[in-house]
Amino acid sequence: MTKQELITQIQQKKSFLCIGLDVDLTKIPKHLQNHDDPIFEFNKQIIDATHHLAVAYKPNIAFYEAYGIKGWSALKKTIDYINRNYPEIFTIADAKRGDIGNTSTRYAKAFFEDLNFNSVTAAPYMGADSIEPFLAFKNKFTILLALTSNKGALDFQGLKTTRGDELYKEVIKTSLTWKNSENLMFVIGATKAAYFKTIRAIIPNHFLLVPGVGAQGGSLKEVCQYGLTKDCGLLVNSSRGIIYAGTDQNFALNAQKEALKLQQEMEIILNENN
Amino acid sequence: MTKQELITQIQQKKSFLCIGLDVDLTKIPKHLQNHDDPIFEFNKQIIDATHHLAVAYKPNIAFYEAYGIKGWSALKKTIDYINRNYPEIFTIADAKRGDIGNTSTRYAKAFFEDLNFNSVTAAPYMGADSIEPFLAFKNKFTILLALTSNKGALDFQGLKTTRGDELYKEVIKTSLTWKNSENLMFVIGATKAAYFKTIRAIIPNHFLLVPGVGAQGGSLKEVCQYGLTKDCGLLVNSSRGIIYAGTDQNFALNAQKEALKLQQEMEIILNENN
């Protein structure tokens, strides 16, 4: 998918909602538990009920790996289902990978080719040659961890270097010098809405994937105040707040209601901004 | 496995060799290509030929994920084979994972419980709450990326912070304050043998996993000069130099010969040191 196709989708749906498919078998409705593939069935129903309100789905790979081959199979069925039925949707493998050069190429192939995701999240600690293999894939996006939304985020990301910037800014600035850096997007946690202004001064146009709205306490309005660009430039993720909105036969309908609330907030914000 | 059991194995085998099982289908002998599960068959023969010379095996998970469900299945068969036949061997899932708290718990379960590895490698960028979920598992080890052996390693790991240390030292020092930090080991690249002295001043006793000897140019002697502790404290990895030593029917025997060379060097070094 091209960046322009993502932007067009955002304009058509009046939404920049990403739904996190972090499926925990202990949290899905009881009536699905005896299904052949409860994880996939849960995802399928959530996707069918919300695809017109969301522009992206983001399975966190940990939730699938935790179930071994069964989980990996459910992940493959899920991404295949999205690609076949809703090809306009932007798909994100939230994998936070990063390894030595030729090994990163392996991960890139796993997510971009074998599974056919549009994008993958990656961790910057190992530097240029751990990320450039991902960036080499055309019309695929690498979403680099910059400022995350967890409690320990600032343990290292917040360390100021002798060059004058905190590590997360060094990561963003340095990554812009890498080959094919136009294929970069960045993870910026919404619990730090105040940081968006500084970040937009460094990367005025790159898309930001924003977790932490809702369950983790971030405010959509604050994020948009500083984070929005003329092309939107934001993908705001909600996982638990949507997919576990209901616990019975109506779980997909409840998820749809929660997604609709966020989409409507987003529509107002987008209208206000152009 | 306890740390003492690993030390005992090192003493018995006079070896601290770790063999990296980074299996690339395009590099394994032709006669295995038509096998039902060529990845597992390759691993099985390498393991049978080298288990008395090595104390650890380290599959890099990227190589398995790249083959999707087939790869994941080969990984599971490989770890099950080691655990069943050579339970004294220390197993390392080289996964370089790290995610938000409850998601890291998922990864920890995937590698420590579902697959039953003794240890997993993890990336520090997201801070304390991304690693502590791994450390909570008893008699399992979390091998934290500190100083890696790739070209771009110093892009961020080498940045000096205003506290006075380079990032990789900050990572090591900070990680020692985390809950269950006795379950930590560290990845320290052998291409930087000169750094081992400084690192041992911070962590005199922790085990270090050292990639980069052989194919990547690191010297075993230099690493040992500063890196060895009274309990050895080192696991030195070689991947390609061993597993691709041969390309025909004799590949496992050739791998054994290369492993034996390293084990013999290690035996001399261990004897010299106590």
Q: Model confidence over A78-97: pLDDT tens digits?
A: 999 999 999 999 999 999 99
A248 touches chain B (CB under 8 A): no
pLDDT given for residue A273 in this prediction: 87
Contacts of B153 in chain A (CB under 8 A): 126-127
Contacts of A159 in chain B (CB under 8 A): 161-163, 167, 170
Q: How far apart are CA B25 and CA B46, in angstroms?
A: 15
Structure tokens at B59: 């599959």
Q: Which of A67, A125, A162 is nearest residue B145 as measured by Cβ atoms?
A: A125
Does the pLDDT value for residue B213 go beyond 90?
A: no
A148 touches chain B (CB under 8 A): yes
End-to-end CA separation in angstroms for chain A: 24
pLDDT tens track for A164-188: 999 999 999 999 999 999 999 999 9
Contact (CB, 8 A) for B74 and B47: no
Q: Which of A67, A76, A107 is nearest residue B68 as measured by Cβ atoms?
A: A76
pLDDT given for residue B274 in this prediction: 74
Quick one: average pLDDT of B121-138? Answer: 98
Which of the residues of A are catalytic?
A: 96
pLDDT given for residue B216 in this prediction: 58
Q: What residues 16-45 of chain B have any CB closer than 8 A to a CB of chain A?
A: 22
CATH superfamily, with its number, for domain B3-269 = Aldolase class I (3.20.20.70)
pLDDT tens track for B29-75: 999 999 999 999 999 999 999 999 999 999 999 999 999 899 999 99
Shortest alpha-carbon distance between residue A82 and chain B (Å): 18
Residues of chain A with pLDDT under 50: none
Triad A248, A252, A258: Cα angle to 5°: 105
Find the residue in B nearest to A212 (Cα). Answer: B100
pLDDT given for residue B218 in this prediction: 66
B51 touches chain A (CB under 8 A): no
pLDDT given for residue B73 in this prediction: 95
Q: Measure Cα distances from A90 to A22, A55, A69, A93, A203 in Å.
A: 16, 6, 25, 10, 21
The 10 Å Cβ neighbour count of residue A194 is: 9
Q: Which of A76, A153, A162 is nearest residue B127 as measured by Cβ atoms?
A: A153
Does the pLDDT value for residue B239 go beyond 80?
A: yes
Q: Which of A72, A123, A129 is nearest residue B152 as measured by Cβ atoms?
A: A129
Quick one: average pLDDT of B123-133? Answer: 97
Q: How far apart are CA B75 and CA B167, in angstroms?
A: 33
pLDDT given for residue B30 in this prediction: 95
Q: How far apart are CA B122 and CA B71, in angstroms?
A: 21
Contact criterion met (CB < 8 Å) for A130 and B149: no
Shortest alpha-carbon distance between residue A208 and chain B (Å): 17
pLDDT given for residue A242 in this prediction: 96
pLDDT tens track for B137-159: 999 999 999 999 899 999 999 99
Given CATH 3.20.20.70, say whether it is the number of domain A3-273: yes
Q: Is A52 exposed, middle or buried (0-12, 13-18, 19+ CB in 10 A)?
A: middle
Cβ neighbours of residue A253 closer than 8 Å, sequence gap 6 or more: A49, A246
Contacts of A170 in chain B (CB under 8 A): 156, 159
B98 touches chain A (CB under 8 A): yes
pLDDT given for residue A191 in this prediction: 76
Please confirm, yes or no, whether B96 is among the known catalytic residues.
yes
B107 touches chain A (CB under 8 A): yes
